[in-house]
Amino acid sequence: MTTLKPGEVNLGTTIMAVKFDGGVVIAADSRTSTGTYVANRVTDKLTKVEERIYCCRSGSAADTQAVADIVKYHLDLYTSQHDEMPTVKVAASLFQEICYQNKNNLSAWIIVAGWDKQTGGDVFEIPIGGSLHRPEFAIAGSGSSYISGFCDKSYRPGMSKEECIEFAKNAVGLAITRDGSSGGVIRLAVITKDGVERQVVYGNELPTQYTG
């Protein structure tokens, strides 16, 4: 699916973001692979680009790290120049500009999510190619194919923060079970006006699922 160069480090991945009234819940697995070897089994794919704006990275590890670093730089400059925090839409737009204009040289499938004063919680998705989408919830990465059905059936508009967290845990947990490129622990973050709460969910704490 992703056109990685031989030997390039791959963020195989399952990542997702869900909006709720007051913020967003973002989640990711923690596996980075080079071929069949797991280069990092505790990766943090939830990357801060501003105080209340995170991106979830999947695709090439090198490409997504480089793009996120550049966007972080631009948002830092924005904050200095405007004397106010950028909106999630601004961050997503910057991601899109880089991903679209360099589409031939990048392998990145990114979800941008966070909280801002204007909109509250906001979620954007930028697939390979650099198009911009603004869904209520987004799933991405190689593991996302296995949970599209589960997510479409489970999601209800107007879920509470706790319901969104359970939804994310279940979805990423199911994807990890089925996708070889996803694994390790589940990293979660809840972003609201009051801050960012991060948590780690280990395999033995996963919601129950059929395992044979």
Partner 1 sequence: MTPLIEPNTGFKFDNVKRNQLLSDKGYMTPTATKTGTTIVGLLYKDGVVLGADTRATSGPIVADKNCRKIHYLAPNMYCCGAGTAADTDYTTNMVGSQLALHALNTGREARVVTAMTKLKQYLFRYQGHVGAALILGGVDVTGPHLFTIHPHGSTDKLPYVTMGSGSLCAMSVFESSWRPNLTRDEAVEMVKDAIESGIFNDLGSGSNVDVCVITKDNVEYIRGHSQPNERVAKEQSYRFAAGTTEFIGSKAGAPAEGAAAMDVSA
208: left (phi over 0), alpha (psi -120 to 50) or beta: beta
> Which residues is 114 bridged to in the sheet?
53, 122
Give the count of beta carbons closer than 10 Å to the beta carbon of residue 94.
21
Q: Which residue among 3, 5, 80, 211 contacts partner 1 (CB under 8 A)?
A: 5
To partner 1, the closest distance from the beta carbon of 198 in angstroms equals 16
To partner 1, the closest distance from the beta carbon of 77 in angstroms equals 17
* 136 sits near partner 1 (criterion: CB under 8 A): no
* 61 sits near partner 1 (criterion: CB under 8 A): yes
Catalytic residues: 13
Residues 73-132 touching partner 1, rule: CB under 8 A, are 105
Cβ closest to partner 1, residue 8 vs residue 163: 8
Would you call 79 helix, strand, or coil by DSSP?
A: helix
Task: Identify the helix (H) or strand (E) that includes residue 197.
Answer: strand 195-201
Q: Using an 8 Å Cβ cutoff, are 13 and 187 in contact? A: no
To partner 1, the closest distance from the beta carbon of 72 in angstroms equals 12
Report the Cα–Cα distance between both ends of the chain, in Å, rounded: 28
* 8 sits near partner 1 (criterion: CB under 8 A): yes
Residues 139-198 touching partner 1, rule: CB under 8 A, are none
To partner 1, the closest distance from the beta carbon of 66 in angstroms equals 5
Stretch that binds partner 1, among 56-64, 82-90, 121-129, 190-198 (CB under 8 A): 56-64
To partner 1, the closest distance from the beta carbon of 9 in angstroms equals 5
Determine phi and psi for 4, rounding to 5 degrees.
-85, 150
If we measure between CA atoms, which residue out of 178, 153, 137 comes closest to residue 14? 178
Give the count of beta carbons closer than 10 Å to the beta carbon of residue 97.
15
Eight-class DSSP state of 181? T
Cβ closest to partner 1, residue 9 vs residue 132: 9
Q: Using an 8 Å Cβ cutoff, are 65 and 82 in contact? A: no
Site string for partner 1, 14-53 (x = CB under 8 A): ------------------x-x--x-xx-xx----------
Q: Residue numbers of the site for partner 1 (CB under 8 A)?
A: 5, 7-9, 32, 34, 37, 39-40, 42-43, 60-62, 65-66, 105
